[in-house]
Structure 1
């Protein structure tokens, strides 16, 4: 039933049989359905999971993050994020804003940020921590991870980032994202400096004079 008809049905019998009165009410209420539909739709329009374009930009003003990243992405990719990545950054920032600093809590919130990826965090107990992300690798997404846009970190702590499409190799471990012999793979390191590699010259692996031992 339309909202207008719902209200008209509430008119008492002593007035419901008055044609002029009912016509006046119909004219008064004729816009209520459109207004009600708009009000209901607004909630979805600004939902982080469903918002697009300008709606995401409005949400970002409240969250405190910008669609344009503060660095020049690798290989000439635009610094202005598309909706897919911007939505990820918004969710990550919301997670950071709510995070109380506990690693277990962060792991629980991760499913809301990038559910298709496995996140692993290890506290090395020396003011450093390892963060690994296992899932479909996207160059810009791994850069955003490295630049601190996705996973929050405590102040003064150095983070070593790793990304891989396959589960990472680990001794005596068999959990999502970490597997043992014949199942785990070496990670694609995305630390601050490119790793040294023979005869390679790419984003994370560089040759003599440009690559670093890690």
Structure 2
């Protein structure tokens, strides 16, 4: 039964050949419609994988290939931060020195950020929502600091349980794949805590800053561009 055979009147519904004829004639339309529905689901950014994400990347304007090989993130036994669910599996054609093609999970985050960037209105007040929405569940947060001299500084802040943070994502952020800035504004520096999840600051206790015994000295991971 389909939405077309449901419309057959009672008189004709008792005629098996008529019923089969209507079903045979309309079934391809139903199958085509179902296939189109599956295509929409397949290219939903939250469900897309592999080549589907690559095609989305072409539409959105961000490739999976990074400009510099990402190293130090391959899975390894007995290595902090590179164990199960942390390190990236080395593919059969990946060089030992690092890989240039992002995994689906990291690429999906970058595409979500790029979608938001494409629709950004250029105002600083809307930046937190863009970064928070893109990075939700990733174990990383970012804060953009306006230096008031046509430059910004970017704070990269891992969660307290750093072991849950993707080193691949951190590397992609360092290369600028989640950088949001207005035209003419340069990135002065990217900074991470040298240890822990918050930067040191006097008499401050926030999501990003903390005092003695909790905050960590900053470590510049990218001198900007």
What is the aligned counterpart of 1:73 among 70, 91, 99? Answer: 70
1:99 paired with 2:120, answer yes
Tell me the CA shift for residue 65 of structure 1: 1.3
Q: Any gaps of 5 or more consecutive residues in structure 1?
A: 194-214
Aligned length: 190
- What RMSD over aligned residues (CA atoms) do the two structures have, in Å? 2.3
Q: Which 5+ residue runs of structure 2 have no aligned equivalent?
A: 73-96
What's the secondary structure of 2:3's corresponding residue? Answer: helix
Residue 50 (structure 1) shift: 1.1
**Residue 122 of structure 1 corresponds to which residue in structure 2?**
145
Question: Is the Cα–Cα contact under 8 Å of residues 118 and 134 in structure 1 kept in the other structure?
Answer: yes
SS of the counterpart of 2:66? coil
* TM-score of the aligned structures, taking structure 2 as reference length: 0.74
Structure 1 residue aligned with 2:212: 181
Please tell me whether Structure 1 or Structure 2 has the larger radius of gyration of its CA atoms: 1
Question: Does residue 1:157 correspond to 2:186, yes or no?
Answer: yes
Choose 136-145 or 161-170, whichever is displaced more: 136-145
Cα pair 2:113 2:130 within 8 Å, conserved: no
Q: 1:120 touches 1:133 (CA, 8 Å); kept in 2?
A: yes
Deviations 1:55-104 (A, max 9, x none): 01111111111111123334521111121222122122212211122222
Q: Deviations over 1:40-67 (max 9, x none)?
A: 2211211111100010111111111111
What's the TM-score once normalised by structure 1's chain length? 0.77
The DSSP-based 3-state class of the residue aligned with 1:125 is: coil
> With CA pairs under 8 Å and 6+ residues apart, which has the higher RCO, 1 or 2?
2
Aligned match of 2:90:
none
Kept after mapping to 2: 8 A contact 1:73/1:79: yes
64-73 or 139-148, which deviates more: 139-148
Most deviating of 174-183 and 99-108: 174-183
Between Structure 1 and Structure 2, the one with more strand by share is 2
Secondary structure at the counterpart of residue 22 of structure 2:
helix
Shift of 1:33: 4.8
The residue number in structure 2 matching 1:143 is: 171
